[in-house]
Structure 1
Amino acid sequence: MKKIHIIALSMILVLAYNCKDGKKTEKEGKDATDQPVEKIVEEVNVEVIKFSMQPKSDSNVQGEVVFTEENGMVMMKATLSGLSAGEHAIHIHEKADCSSDDGKSSGGHWNPTHEPHGKWGAAEGYHKGDIGNFTADTEGNAIVEFSTDQWCIGCDDANKNILGKAVIVHQGVDDFTSQPSGAAGARVSCTGIIE
């Protein structure tokens, strides 16, 4: 009978010890989860500038251009109306000056690297302002979207900074070969990209 009591007492002590140890582990786990969690937040700088297009050369072409810079990429979205149906060229020109009636006050294509005019990305060379052609629908509306890491908004790199330039829409199509501008015809809309 004594042996049974000793065995029973031993089992009670083992159970009591295990319960105590379990509570300790539970408490340690609770303490671990109560610790503050450090959150890593990545800061993303987004720069957005928006401008209205002004009709030039007796046209009715107007609209809005939005430039957005995020993570080293600049996205351009131009929403245009008043165009003739079909293809037209769009470029960035060297001066944010739309004061003349024909838009020529904006100068030539923006070309800080002194390359020949061409299609964007061409191995033979192209201007930083050589965006290319787009198509207006039968009602004269168009949306042009373009993005590149070769532009920036307000950075210190003169070869990339688009501030102080102009967006020009042309009546005709850029042939990508005629120098220095692709023979795209009259400048029918202009906006200056200024701070």
Structure 2
Amino acid sequence: MKKIWMLFPLLILTGCTEGNPKKVAVDMFNPAGDSLGTITLSEQPKGVKMEVNLSGLTAGEHAIHIHDKGKCEAPDFKSAGGHFNPDNKEHGLLHPKGAHAGDLPNLIVGGDGKVKAELMAPQVTLQNGKTSLFTKEGTSIVIHEGKDDGMAQPAGDSGNRIACGEISKNKKGQKNSQDEKQ
């Protein structure tokens, strides 16, 4: 009987994440609707790892943020809303009262317009809960024309939105926890 009770909490914890993917590919687009590549999100013990593989951007530093709406309507991507901020903090990785859960380090794009990078979003998850990226309204990833200064409100003085991708757990071809069990 003790063995059954020891397994019971494990079954409950396993069931809580059923249906949420462990890995999600986010297709990124510019205002003209051209594909820029993919950002792959994967659940990690201390947040979500973001593997960035993009091209077609202007060289230099660019702000990248997770936004609180899962809509990417061109040309300005304002439909993505503000930064994902479930704890109602200030903006900026350098802000003493910050940061938003959606605040991330700047991307550095090479002279060829390409960037391959790994970022960590330690305040978010692909699992259920307050900091889940799978909210009722969805979430998205937005890249800005300039760099994030890490302090200025509400978006680090990073300029216009130049790329956007919707985060969705229901995209065709995505690996999720049920697929990995088979």
TM-score (normalised: structure 2):
0.73
Match of 1:134 among 83, 107, 115: 107
Q: CA deviation at 1:73?
A: 3.7
Q: Given the alignment of the two structures, is residue 54 of structure 1 paired with residue 10 of structure 2, yes or no?
A: no
Unaligned 5+ segments in structure 2 are 1-13, 170-182
User: Distance between the aligned counterparts of 2:73 and 2:33, measured in 1?
Assistant: 15
Q: CA deviation at 1:154?
A: 3.2
Match of 1:169 among 128, 140, 143: 143
RMSD: 2.2
Which of structures 1 and 2 has the bigger CA Rg? 1
Greater length-normalized contact order (CA 8 Å, ≥ 6 residues apart)? 2
Task: Assess if the C-alpha contact under 8 Å between 1:65 and 1:77 holds in 2.
Answer: yes
Count of residue correspondences:
148
Q: Given the alignment of the two structures, is residue 111 of structure 1 paired with residue 50 of structure 2, yes or no?
A: no
Who is 1:180 aligned against? Answer: 154
Task: Assess if the C-alpha contact under 8 Å between 2:85 and 2:102 holds in 1.
Answer: yes
Who is 1:41 aligned against? Answer: none
SS of the residue 1:108 aligns to: coil
User: Distance between the aligned counterparts of 1:74 and 1:179, measured in 2?
Assistant: 24
Which aligned pairs between 1:33-52 and structure 2 lie closer than 5 A? Answer: 47-52=22-27
User: Distance between the aligned counterparts of 1:93 and 1:63, measured in 2?
Assistant: 18
Paired AA for residue 69 in structure 1: E
- Bigger fraction of residues in helix: 1
Deviations along 1:50-108, one digit per CA (max 9) or x if unpaired, are 1210112x586711010111445421111111111111110000001012321110001
Paired AA for residue 27 in structure 2: S
